[in-house]
Amino acid sequence: MTAAPVGFDLDMTLIDSRRAIMGSFAGVAADTGVPIDPAGVDSRLGIKLEDELAFWFPAEQVPGAVRTYREHYLRLSGPLTTVLPGAREALAAVRANGARAVVITAKYEVTARLSLDGAGLHADELFPGVHGPEKAAVLTALGAAVYVGDTPADMAAAVEAGAHAVGVTTGSFTDRDLLAAGADQVLASLAGFPVLYASLTIST
Ligand SMILES: [Mg+2]
């Protein structure tokens, strides 16, 4: 029997895209004259772009703001995105076990692919444009054994899908936040993932 797939969130789990995201929101604020509080954006990192922009723009202006954001993001993503510690090794550990390493993210497909390619990371499959319960639906459909993410919503999605919930504190949230949302384990970074994953594959 082949090992069940392992899902990974993208932003702040595999890649550090915070500077590119913050720079893009600053660009939207500058272009539109609408003030956007970076702390507010930071506190919600991981939600869909249109949902974040809805905090700052009336509904009819969100599509235009999405376009403006993406222009900035496509420019800033390459220079400002870095691979988080252990990301490459975590994906490799899953593949070494004969399982697929899939990326499940709220990011749009274009920017998700750009980010993965720019970081030199390879996903066996990409599920873009999903957040919260939508991530749970993807995990359930895949029969995923594990989901790794940096937000309480990621942990809740894993729990809902019956996947082992692994939190990483490389994003905006603490171990307490992630445990309260249902994390089975919390790591300081993906550097600890291969050892944790080995323990899971032995015990199952
Ligand atoms: Mg994230």
- Per domain, the residue ranges of the chain are 6-16+82-203, 18-80
- Mean pLDDT, residues 102-129 taken together: 94
Assess contact for 125 and 103: CB atoms under 8 A: yes
Distance 151 CA to ligand 1 centre (A): 6
∠ at Cα 67 (62, 70), nearest 5°?
120
Distance 35 CA to ligand 1 centre (A): 24
Fold classification of 6-16+82-203 (topology level): Rossmann fold (3.40.50)
Distance 1 CA to ligand 1 centre (A): 31
- Mean pLDDT, residues 1-16 taken together: 92
What span, in angstroms and rounded, lies between the C-alpha atoms of 36 and 162? Answer: 37
Structure tokens at 51: 């949902």
Average pLDDT, the chain: 95
Q: Is the pLDDT of residue 11 over 80?
A: yes
The 10s digit of each residue's pLDDT in 137-161 is 999 999 999 999 999 999 999 999 9
**Superfamily grouping for domain 18-80:** Putative phosphatase; domain 2 (1.10.150.240)
Distance 12 CA to ligand 1 centre (A): 5
Q: 203 falls in which pLDDT band (50, 70, 90)?
A: low
Q: 168 falls in which pLDDT band (50, 70, 90)?
A: very high
pTM: 0.93
